[in-house]
Amino acid sequence: MSDTEQPQLYLLTPPVLELSTFPDQLAAVLDANDIACLRLALSTYDEDTIARAADACRAVTHARDVAIVVADHAGIAERLGLDGVHLSSAKKSVRDARKALGADAIVGSYCAASRHDGLSAGEAGADYVAFGPITGIADEETATDDLFQWWSDVVEVPVVAEGGLTQDIVTRLAPVTDFFGIGEEIWNSDDPVAALATLTAALK
């Protein structure tokens, strides 16, 4: 990443969506910010629930020319009219997802704090890799500033920093990451638009 480029914002939905209110919240955030992509990151495996959420979110994102991907469910991404898939574990096959969705789809891979997994995903054709969490619970391995610095220096595949972002972390990692993956940091707030503005103040 060049020193003159600012990281882009990549939103993650809450694990459970209230469809009577979330689309309006999402629209407000998208209208107030330049957002690169939305990840439908639901905790459920129920396809009907995922499909309803996908329909509601896709209507909001595509009206604003924002891409939308679904976590893990590559088999239904195309049917739901989504732009690709985010694989939540490096053990899930990037090559299989790419074969299923085609060359134009977005395929991303979460690689925790592993350089090896990130490199493997990139070599398999991932459009981006995500490292995190940046902050976590005790004894949980976190993705360090050094990891992002090394990736920025050595690898061309875009990288996402996600998981427990704070204002300080955004300021520190801005020169060495391509995207910030932002979810609960703003959706747990009463005012997601204001929360995002505060979190990303260093990028303005």
DSSP result, 100-162? HH-TTSEEEEE-TT-HHHHHHHHHTT-SEEEE--SS-STT-----HHHHHHHHHH--S-EEEE
pLDDT, mean of residues 69-74? 95
Examine residue 65 and state whether it is found in any structural domain, yes or no: yes
Examine residue 3 and state whether it is found in any structural domain, yes or no: no
Total-model pTM: 0.95
Q: State the Cα–Cα distance between residues 134 and 161, nearest whole angstrom.
A: 7
- pLDDT tier, 2 (very low <50, low <70, confident <90, very high otherwise): very low
Examine residue 154 and state whether it is found in any structural domain, yes or no: yes
Tell me what the pLDDT averaged over the chain comes to.
Answer: 95
Examine residue 124 and state whether it is found in any structural domain, yes or no: yes
* Strand residues in 41-91 grouped as ranges (E): 67-71, 84-87
Q: State the Cα–Cα distance between residues 115 and 37, nearest whole angstrom.
A: 24
Examine residue 136 and state whether it is found in any structural domain, yes or no: yes
8 Å CB contact between 7 and 203: yes
Which pLDDT score is estimated for 91? 87
Containing domain of residue 55, as a range?
8-203
Examine residue 2 and state whether it is found in any structural domain, yes or no: no
Examine residue 13 and state whether it is found in any structural domain, yes or no: yes
Which pLDDT score is estimated for 204? 83
Which pLDDT score is estimated for 139? 73
Q: Which residues contact 143 (CB under 8 A, 6 or more apart)?
A: 112, 113, 131, 132, 133, 134, 161, 163
We report the CATH number of the domain holding residue 26 as 3.20.20.70
Q: What is the tally of structural domains in the chain?
A: 1
Task: Express each pLDDT in 109-124 by its tens digit.
Answer: 999 999 999 999 999 9
Task: Express each pLDDT in 27-45 by its tens digit.
Answer: 999 999 999 999 999 999 9
Which pLDDT score is estimated for 4? 52
pLDDT, mean of residues 173-189? 97
Examine residue 1 and state whether it is found in any structural domain, yes or no: no
